[in-house]
A = this chain, B = another copy of it.
């Protein structure tokens, strides 16, 4: 295959970090990105070049382009972490194959992306592009965190920001494996969908927790795992309302609040604990076999319909600067960029 010398991409206009923490929301991309041509990157040792079919957009992408994520921006490099595409060059036996991947070398909001060849995930032919585009960040996090839930032997788990794509995967995993999910959301409109998906109960907490409902559900379902993407005072109040041995596992920080620990005695006398989950750390700890097994299960779940991808919409790369912000503002579903258009 002959590769072109240049490609089009959404390119970062700033380096490094900012000091703010405004969250994964954006109304205008112009301060962070520009749509322009640049040279197609060349794969180095151990790297693979992928022609991008479809890139899935996650909250972490928005955190990142704003300079608020755990790794620094690089001015002049394409943005975007996750995508599906075809391997077109590089140090890998997967040349010519369709793969899901997480870009570590050059971003996915681009016609071509670069990543570590060892991390490519070959896709089953019957896996839809829309599922393959976002096979890693949410699905692997869901599998990894649900592994913690299973190991803990709890019969129920609490999920904050339960309307997220990730939590929908977790709710389905709970439903299929006898762990009753309790979803906590801010907008009552999402409750019916989560119940239909398999949530045993849904708590609507716009500004404060409905305490009677919370106490009843904690008593009935006895959840001892709280998977938390928010990190606000409502999360802390939920944690302290949970039964003994409860573990608050933080994997995201959608809120800018600093939660107060106003019942610390529960850590001592009720054996409660607070910890974090980071997919990168998890991948370092587990073996390659466990990760490969997780990706096989992830693909099987999408193909047989136990998991589905909610699509908010697909924007052509050429129109993303204007069309992406309104798509991201939709309350439900995942946004994608198609760099072939």
A residues with CB within 8 A of B: 70, 231, 250-253, 258-262, 264-278, 281
Name A271's contact: one of B231, B268, B269, B281 (CB within 8 Å): B281
Name A276's contact: one of B70, B251, B268, B278 (CB within 8 Å): B268
Q: Is the CB of B269 within 8 A of A250?
A: no
Name A278's contact: one of B253, B269, B275 (CB within 8 Å): B269
A109 to chain B, nearest CB (A): 23
A119 to chain B, nearest CB (A): 19
Q: Is the CB of A272 within 8 A of B261?
A: no
Chain B minimum-CB-distance residue to A272: B276
A267–B231 CA distance with the chains assembled, in angstroms? 11
Chain B minimum-CB-distance residue to A21: B265
Name A267's contact: one of B262, B270, B271, B274 (CB within 8 Å): B274
Name A273's contact: one of B258, B259, B274 (CB within 8 Å): B274
A269-B276, A271-B281, A273-B275 known; A264 and B70 CB under 8 Å? no
26 A–B contacts from the bound complex (CB under 8 Å): A70-B265, A70-B268, A231-B264, A250-B264, A250-B267, A250-B268, A251-B268, A252-B268, A253-B264, A258-B260, A258-B261, A258-B262, A258-B264, A259-B264, A261-B274, A264-B276, A267-B274, A267-B275, A268-B277, A268-B278, A269-B276, A269-B278, A273-B273, A273-B274, A274-B274, A274-B275
A252–B259 CA distance with the chains assembled, in angstroms? 20
Chain B minimum-CB-distance residue to A231: B264
Q: Quick one: copies of this chain in the complex?
A: 2
**Residue of A258, A266, A268, A274 most packed against chain B (CB within 10 A):** A268
A264–B281 CA distance with the chains assembled, in angstroms? 16
A16 to chain B, nearest CB (A): 16
Q: Is the CB of A271 within 8 A of B261?
A: no
Q: Is the CB of A269 within 8 A of B70?
A: yes
A266–B252 CA distance with the chains assembled, in angstroms? 11
A70–B274 CA distance with the chains assembled, in angstroms? 21
A133 to chain B, nearest CB (A): 24
A224–B273 CA distance with the chains assembled, in angstroms? 16
A70-B269, A271-B276, A278-B269 known; A261 and B264 CB under 8 Å? no
Name A265's contact: one of B253, B268, B272 (CB within 8 Å): B253
Which residues of chain B have C-beta atoms less than 8 A from A274's C-beta? 261, 267, 273-275
Which residues of chain B have C-beta atoms less than 8 A from A260's C-beta? 258-261
Chain B minimum-CB-distance residue to A236: B261
A224 to chain B, nearest CB (A): 14
**Residue of A251, A277, A278 most packed against chain B (CB within 10 A):** A278
A30 to chain B, nearest CB (A): 27
**Residue of A253, A264, A271, A274 most packed against chain B (CB within 10 A):** A264
Which residues of chain B have C-beta atoms less than 8 A from A231's C-beta? 261, 264
Contacts A231-B261, A267-B274 given; 4 further ones with Cβ under 8 A? A70-B269, A260-B261, A268-B277, A270-B276
